[in-house]
Structure 1
Amino acid sequence: MERIVYISTCRTDPDRDMVQDILRTSRRNNRQDDLTGLLVVGGRRFLQVLEGPTAGIDAAYERIKADPRHFALVELSRRPVAARAFAGWNMGCEQIDGEDMTGLVDRLTEKLGDATLQAQFRSFVALHRTAA
């Protein structure tokens, strides 16, 4: 089993309808590929974690790279993992609309038990603040 973490930028400001469309498609595909994960949307930036079998990760990441709604994909990490951090979430999602992003990310990651993954989420918060 592997985990990939990436960041990308949406070509337009993602509204709730766009995010819901992405989630519907992602959840369907993730069930088929046995993937779990979390998508955090802050402004025009996406931070996503996917975990599961290598073949499923590869298929999902190829679909994501081909999606014209975003650009500047940067793979932050990809590594084998012994257990899922987001078991039971075909694709959890949080979209930040002026909310305290730091508090939200802290709540989402407090039980992860993976310091590297927590740091990636916190770096995303810092990046979002800088870009805002």
Structure 2
Amino acid sequence: MYQLVYVSTAARGQSLEDVGAILKVSRRNNVRDGLTGMLYADDRRFLQALEGEEAHVMAAFTRIQKDPRHRAVVVLSRRTVAAREFGAWEMAHAGPGHDADGMVDKVGRLAAGASPAIKATFEGFLEARRAA
């Protein structure tokens, strides 16, 4: 099982509807390709862990890198894992005025099976986004 974690910035001019469209297509494509993981998206940033067959993970990541709605795409981690750390696909999505504490708790629950470093990446990212 292959796992890739990346962060990206939404292109300027993105609306919440644009982010919603990305989420909808991501859900459909990930089911089709047998990918699981977790995506945190707000109106400015994306943080995603993708898990599955390496060819499918890399195909999804190539689409993300070419998508003009993403910029500054940075890989944080690539590794082989013994089993899916995030289990079934989950989608964490926050918009303006969201419950920051509730989102941190939700992501903590969703990332409970992830390695300590990956879990800390998601939790630290949310803490930084909450402070911004």
1:115 alignment partner AA: P
In structure 2, C-alpha distance between the alignment counterparts of 1:93 and 1:35, rounded to whole Å: 16
Residue 101 in structure 1 maps to residue 100 in structure 2: yes
How many angstroms does 1:38 deviate by? 1.5
Asked if structure 2 preserves the Cα contact closer than 8 Å seen for 1:14 and 1:43, the reply is: yes
How many angstroms does 1:43 deviate by? 3.8
5+ residue gaps, structure 2, are none
Aligned residue number for residue 121 of structure 1: 122
Which SS does the other structure have where 2:12 is aligned? coil
Asked if structure 2 preserves the Cα contact closer than 8 Å seen for 1:102 and 1:125, the reply is: no
Residue 63 in structure 1 maps to residue 63 in structure 2: yes
How many angstroms does 1:105 deviate by? 2.5
Aligned residue number for residue 29 of structure 1: 29
Q: Percent of aligned positions with the same letter in both sequences?
A: 44
How many angstroms does 1:96 deviate by? 3.8
Which SS does the other structure have where 2:68 is aligned? coil
Using structure 1 for the length normalisation, give the TM-score.
Answer: 0.84
Residue 20 in structure 1 maps to residue 32 in structure 2: no
CA root-mean-square deviation: 2.1
Q: How many residues align?
A: 130
In structure 1, C-alpha distance between the alignment counterparts of 2:103 and 2:26, rounded to whole Å: 22
Which SS does the other structure have where 2:94 is aligned? strand
5+ residue gaps, structure 1, are none
Using structure 2 for the length normalisation, give the TM-score.
Answer: 0.84
Offset from partner CA, 1:14-55 (integer Å, 9 cap, x none): 433212211221122112221012211234111111111100
Asked if structure 1 preserves the Cα contact closer than 8 Å seen for 2:104 and 2:127, the reply is: no
Offset from partner CA, 1:52-102 (integer Å, 9 cap, x none): 11001110000000000120011010111111123221x523224233435
In structure 2, C-alpha distance between the alignment counterparts of 1:31 and 1:116, rounded to whole Å: 26
Which SS does the other structure have where 1:60 is aligned? helix
Aligned 1:38-49 pairs, distance under 5 A:
38-49=38-49
